Structure 1
């Protein structure tokens, strides 16, 4: 138990220990060589960044070494070790060496005490859940334990069924009879004709347009604008007011001039940027909330670049292709009915913001203290909030925002940073309000539906949008999914993930270069509604382990399929063959072959409604998906054999496509010395052979073997307790393997997995180092070691003690060398 707590505490430290240290100069006062601007300790990893004029600098701790090649900026990371750092700077006059403690020992001790206190509290709260998990094996308790220790991902906002309900039979919204549009203009002549043309063609409310031309430097802009305004006023006198500045006054003063004219007209106002492209029938939809409710002060539509109103990812910009904005607006109209919930936001966004005339009269100008712009509408909105006004979204309207056309991207970044600091000073609670909005994301139903629609648009008519069904447990299947998602994005087909095993039955994710839009629900009909605007889909079963009713997953995928949709299956585990997805019997032992006639509790399941499904029934349900799949991808010869043994009729659809290692593994020279040190590579849990390692460690302790040792290079699952003689390094990266082999003196690798793996990345990583690698002669790991010159298959007997089998195969003795 103490060993298990130590391992758990080390993982907790890696997750929760964060310390920043002061920067320091490099070199000497007589010859400065640069400076370290940032010192950060996260977990056990120390990161230094800054600038250096030397060719290279090398940092060495008691646990590792890292070299940076400044240009002149650098960033290097290495294990903290005992806290002392040796810095060697390679200069033209030779190396300069310094020793220092970048994190003050006093600060490190204080942070360690804080982390230990938090760990003790989490452990006390987790104890009852751990007892329930041991008694029931219910994954909900396991997830709750991970959440207590901070190992679980943050909560996910939920879909709201009200957004997808049929429109209520209510009276139509009142139609606005007047509108004032304020359009500040400064350069951006490449966009201005289209902006004005759209206003001409698409504004569905009688509108007066106030254009404030703020002394643009483009010599062609003002003459063109004068002609354009004259033409409009010739057709309809007084339709356009054009204000011309002799000198540049800035965005805020330009807007305030427009506000002054609007106040005399006593009509709702829309503040519109000169890079906003409005769609057909936009104005009535944007003004509807103001006409419905006198407490509504401002309304902001959805957009590709509108901070908290952005699609597909909140506060992230996305460049749209031609015609995508119009298509997204057509999809958004479904969310513009009176039955759609009203979403209040902490602020509006001024790129296209409707403003109530009554509330504008109370606060008739933007604060000119914000200089040339950015942040002024936030300031106005906070003043209005303090007076009881509300700012809401227009989910039924999507307006494209080209973004930054007035100022340019670099200037915008600087202005936003400076003015954001002023907003935080004036309104200390505003940042927390925005963060709370982002965490709960009351617009997520609209955001993800439009995001899915955008993914379908981006794929176009000739490609399909991949929709993956995946689990929430991480591991090899998740690593493979991550690589596939990256390939999909690179190919121009943004993927969608339908994830099981989380707090809600379904978690849907739309993945883009801007990030992920994520929402959760227990209602599969809402998932279907989100996917409705994706025209061509390829459903890809990746992994369903962790779902509360996995026997239902084939039926769910088949129900989502429309004519023309394809189905692909990836065999990362054997859930399509048995509810025991690793093919282990109830006693935790793999006994091939899988036979429906052999009764074993692990291969049958009690479904949520109380019915029991035996192995034959299970395979009948999953066989429907296997039969419907036009491509079944396996990653090892053994997986192909396993699948054909159950579904021989699937042979034409089964294709063997082994993984390739995502990172090249360096060859490692074998350490010299008499002692044999067996490295167990990968995260240790039940399936990965923790019991084997426990048995070997105890046997080494009992027999007093000093010539052989064990070290786990990887994490250890919360449920496993290793003997004290087995060292645990923790998480690793492939590039660290040479240093780890040298540090611990590893002579052999052991892959103790007790189930027939479908590929086993760790086996291939171990083999690639060149060191002797041992694994049971089952599954993909058995295939791999049998084919490699440095591979050593361990005979597998389900009725024998597996630790004894490893002991015998490795020939462990007082001074045994590598087998």
Structure 2
């Protein structure tokens, strides 16, 4: 519990203070520290200085910040020519902040000025803050007790993940539930009298796009329609003559020509005034349509359907690639489309159940917004206070909302928006900034309502489905990768992120089907503009959503944590298309045995799981209580393996897979990982005592029992020192002599090792790692590295000049094997 509390406090305790004035040797102000903050295991210092360089130094770590981060606000206020703004950050622990050597700033002064004095930074450690953190820890640990008991009883990783989640020691993706009824289309109802819609379309330049916009209105509108065009004095001399010719022989088209440029809002108001000239039961909603909006086939009937069912509906806005809160695949993020993509996306939208996911929204978006006639009669015009445009539809929607009108987002229609064509992007940014201030003054609650909508995202399921349609429409000949992964973090997650980044760099989005969370399936779509995700227990829904992708490359990354993992191979097979490709990545050995680390119930590795293995750890319990033996498990996974390329990351992993599935050896390929960051080389401190650095987050399979025993045996005076750079499973308490640094970043590893005087590394893993990042990071420092002669860690130290191979036997005293090597450490240190 003490170890858990220490990790909880390091993660969640936040302390902050102001740092004070920076002075030079003459006593004049040379800068100011605006903030000193400790949070998440790092110390952050921000401020400004009249200096060429600022350095933050603490505990052997140093950060010199951004030398080009200027602060013109400070310079102008103080009458200075130029100042240096800085935001510096170094690793820190709570214990460091209590030490007698506080963090310090050193500054290199400008030439010709008095020297700037170093500044010591002390951050007060509030007893009240620590007490509140301890109370929150007890609360969270108590709420997580069922998960802890589940872990103790079953050793199922899903319980461990739930307990970490309850303590907020992991960072889950912000993901909400998916609506299972999205595709439940009911039989069509008897057709009612079709209303006639009135389309108000203001025009200013954008000649080439205008022609396409009008062609689509004519060919794709499936209701009786009337079009009111307002030509607003375009500077392009082709526009007005074209519109005159185009409208001349069309009885349902009316062209209004502004004598001069009136701007978007006044042009729309002319159109709205004319639209209200005709009233009657056959007159339907008025649609405000931009000339850069490209409507798809059968768009009108879908857009006006909500008005027929609810007289309280005041506006309806479809989904789009550029429509703020109605944008897909990422909310409030514009996505550029190629010709044909919009129609491909809308074909998926047309399959949605019409009434499912109709969502109340704080506003509509005027690029393509249907407006109820009754509500237009009550608020007949847009407010001209918004100048040439942007924000006027928000103002109209908020006025109508105060009268009781509802604004809906329509998931079942996708309208492509070539945003920015009418006014130009630079002008849009200026107008948006100015008009947002008006909205904020008039409707103080509006910004929060938008944030609430974004957080809840009631259109999440449609946004994800349409995002998948977008991904599948990018290049029909190129498969979209679908990665099955867990949510436990670690090396597999780092590798997955590297793959996703590489995919995006090549212009290909990626999909992750994640297991082990609060719902069985979480689907994530990674795009250049961000990610959208949703979760569900409905396997059929997950399959249906992923089937939107016409071509798929299915990749198994890791399924540890799933509630019924013997079903995962069949799920993977069901996602493959007939001529599709697949990969099976051996980040661990889950496809070979339920004990994914190949450790038996005693925590020992006894070789590849070949033949009849009687150990109960090599069978699995399904949710209904039945057990799956090893042979059944391996047969289920082999069905997928036979259709996939098998990828291993070390030679030892290849040997293990070949031992279990010798006939699949030709499908194996070896692809060692690349390091995320290569630490700079280190040299031991001359004449210092040996200090053994244990690297990584150490659980049972990572050798926690070895580290615990070793720490106790090295407690005597005169023995080598020992430090854990990382964390250890709280079930394995360490003696006070063993210092636990806590979480670290790889780029800080050499600094941390130098701070603790590390002379040798120990990688204590007792399972055959498939690839060991920590052993390669340790080897990169140049210091001697010890590891047991199994797995990827054994392969690595065996072939490295600074590697030390420790003999391994599952029933041996492994801590003694390390101690036996300690005289070699002393000899090596002396040499």
Give the TM-score normalised by structure 1: 0.91
Counterpart in the other structure of 2:269: 256
Over 3 Å counting, the alpha-carbon distance change for 1:371 and 1:149 in structure 2 is farther
Report the alpha carbon displacement of residue 620 of structure 1 after superposing the two structures with TM: 1.5
Counterpart in the other structure of 1:203: 221
Matches within 5 A, 1:500-649: 500-629=515-644, 631-649=645-663
Structure 2 residue 370 is the aligned partner of structure 1 residue 354: yes
Distance, in Å, in 2 between the alignment partners of 1:23 and 1:227 is 68
Counterpart in the other structure of 1:758: 770
Equivalent residues of 2:723, 2:741 under 8 A apart: yes
Distance, in Å, in 1 between the alignment partners of 2:199 and 2:750 is 66
Over 3 Å counting, the alpha-carbon distance change for 1:767 and 1:4 in structure 2 is same
Distance, in Å, in 1 between the alignment partners of 2:527 and 2:17 is 32
Residue from 750, 754, 758 that aligns with 1:746: 758
Equivalent residues of 2:16, 2:37 under 8 A apart: yes
Residue from 325, 330, 354 that aligns with 2:347: 330
Counterpart in the other structure of 1:126: 144
Q: Secondary structure at the match of 1:160?
A: coil
Report the alpha carbon displacement of residue 575 of structure 1 after superposing the two structures with TM: 0.7
CA deviation profile, 1:198-243 (whole Å, cap 9, x unmatched): 3343333343333444455xx32xx323212322332025622324
Aligned alpha-carbon RMSD (Å): 3.0
Equivalent residues of 2:25, 2:115 under 8 A apart: no
Structure 2 residue 58 is the aligned partner of structure 1 residue 58: no
Matches within 5 A, 1:107-256: 114-127=132-145, 129-152=147-170, 153-154=172-173, 156-165=175-184, 167-172=185-190, 174=192, 176-189=194-207, 191-216=209-234, 219-220=235-236, 223-237=237-251, 239-244=253-258, 246-247=260-261, 249-256=262-269
> Which structure 2 segments of 5+ residues have no match?
71-85
Equivalent residues of 2:650, 2:671 under 8 A apart: yes
Counterpart in the other structure of 2:105: 86
Structure 2 residue 694 is the aligned partner of structure 1 residue 694: no
CA deviation profile, 1:757-777 (whole Å, cap 9, x unmatched): 001011011001100001110
Equivalent residues of 1:162, 1:339 under 8 A apart: no
CA deviation profile, 1:62-100 (whole Å, cap 9, x unmatched): 462111342244543224653643131353348943444
Structure 2 residue 321 is the aligned partner of structure 1 residue 307: no
Residue from 473, 479, 482 that aligns with 1:464: 479
Equivalent residues of 2:701, 2:766 under 8 A apart: yes
Report the alpha carbon displacement of residue 131 of structure 1 after superposing the two structures with TM: 3.8
Over 3 Å counting, the alpha-carbon distance change for 1:724 and 1:679 in structure 2 is same
Distance, in Å, in 2 between the alignment partners of 1:355 and 1:818 is 84
Counterpart in the other structure of 1:653: 667
Distance, in Å, in 2 between the alignment partners of 1:256 and 1:34 is 54
Distance, in Å, in 2 between the alignment partners of 1:715 and 1:381 is 53
Matches within 5 A, 1:748-787: 748-787=760-799
CA deviation profile, 1:114-154 (whole Å, cap 9, x unmatched): 54443343234334543443234354543443233223415
Distance, in Å, in 2 between the alignment partners of 1:338 and 1:483 is 39
Distance, in Å, in 2 between the alignment partners of 1:383 and 1:137 is 58
Report the alpha carbon displacement of residue 594 of structure 1 after superposing the two structures with TM: 2.5
> Which structure 1 segments of 5+ residues have no match?
none
Over 3 Å counting, the alpha-carbon distance change for 1:787 and 1:374 in structure 2 is same
Report the alpha carbon displacement of residue 720 of structure 1 after superposing the two structures with TM: 4.4
Equivalent residues of 1:274, 1:406 under 8 A apart: yes
CA deviation profile, 1:267-322 (whole Å, cap 9, x unmatched): 41112223222223322221121123211111111111112211111121111122
Structure 2 residue 31 is the aligned partner of structure 1 residue 12: no
Over 3 Å counting, the alpha-carbon distance change for 1:292 and 1:742 in structure 2 is same
Equivalent residues of 1:485, 1:511 under 8 A apart: yes
Residue from 318, 327, 332 that aligns with 2:335: 318
Report the alpha carbon displacement of residue 328 of structure 1 after superposing the two structures with TM: 0.9
Report the alpha carbon displacement of residue 803 of structure 1 after superposing the two structures with TM: 1.7
Q: Secondary structure at the match of 2:181?
A: helix
Deviates more, 1:375-384 or 1:299-308: 375-384
Distance, in Å, in 2 between the alignment partners of 1:183 and 1:373 is 14
CA deviation profile, 1:404-439 (whole Å, cap 9, x unmatched): 333433443444345445544544443443333333
CA deviation profile, 1:611-657 (whole Å, cap 9, x unmatched): 2221122112112122222x111110000000000000001100111
Distance, in Å, in 2 between the alignment partners of 1:475 and 1:314 is 29
Deviates more, 1:788-797 or 1:706-715: 706-715
Q: Secondary structure at the match of 1:739?
A: helix
Equivalent residues of 2:60, 2:752 under 8 A apart: no
Over 3 Å counting, the alpha-carbon distance change for 1:812 and 1:583 in structure 2 is same
Equivalent residues of 1:708, 1:815 under 8 A apart: no
Report the alpha carbon displacement of residue 251 of structure 1 after superposing the two structures with TM: 3.4
Structure 2 residue 456 is the aligned partner of structure 1 residue 440: yes
Q: Secondary structure at the match of 1:264?
A: coil
Deviates more, 1:551-560 or 1:145-154: 145-154
Report the alpha carbon displacement of residue 610 of structure 1 after superposing the two structures with TM: 2.5
Give the TM-score normalised by structure 2: 0.90
Distance, in Å, in 2 between the alignment partners of 1:98 and 1:61 is 17
Q: Secondary structure at the match of 1:163?
A: coil
Q: Secondary structure at the match of 2:642?
A: helix
Distance, in Å, in 1 between the alignment partners of 2:107 and 2:333 is 41
Over 3 Å counting, the alpha-carbon distance change for 1:442 and 1:636 in structure 2 is same
Q: Secondary structure at the match of 2:182?
A: helix
Deviates more, 1:742-751 or 1:197-206: 197-206
Equivalent residues of 1:285, 1:396 under 8 A apart: yes
Report the alpha carbon displacement of residue 699 of structure 1 after superposing the two structures with TM: 1.4
Counterpart in the other structure of 1:672: 686
Distance, in Å, in 2 between the alignment partners of 1:358 and 1:25 is 65
Distance, in Å, in 2 between the alignment partners of 1:648 and 1:524 is 33
**Number of residue pairs matched?**
804
Equivalent residues of 1:301, 1:352 under 8 A apart: yes
Report the alpha carbon displacement of residue 818 of structure 1 after superposing the two structures with TM: 7.7
Matches within 5 A, 1:339-378: 340-378=356-394
Distance, in Å, in 1 between the alignment partners of 2:709 and 2:12 is 26
Distance, in Å, in 1 between the alignment partners of 2:348 and 2:494 is 33
Deviates more, 1:2-11 or 1:809-818: 809-818
Distance, in Å, in 2 between the alignment partners of 1:817 and 1:677 is 10
Distance, in Å, in 2 between the alignment partners of 1:161 and 1:431 is 30
Structure 2 residue 67 is the aligned partner of structure 1 residue 70: yes
Distance, in Å, in 2 between the alignment partners of 1:412 and 1:19 is 39
CA deviation profile, 1:700-735 (whole Å, cap 9, x unmatched): 22xx13442221212334554333222122222222
Q: Secondary structure at the match of 1:696?
A: helix
Q: Secondary structure at the match of 1:65?
A: strand
Report the alpha carbon displacement of residue 573 of structure 1 after superposing the two structures with TM: 0.4
Q: Secondary structure at the match of 2:305?
A: helix
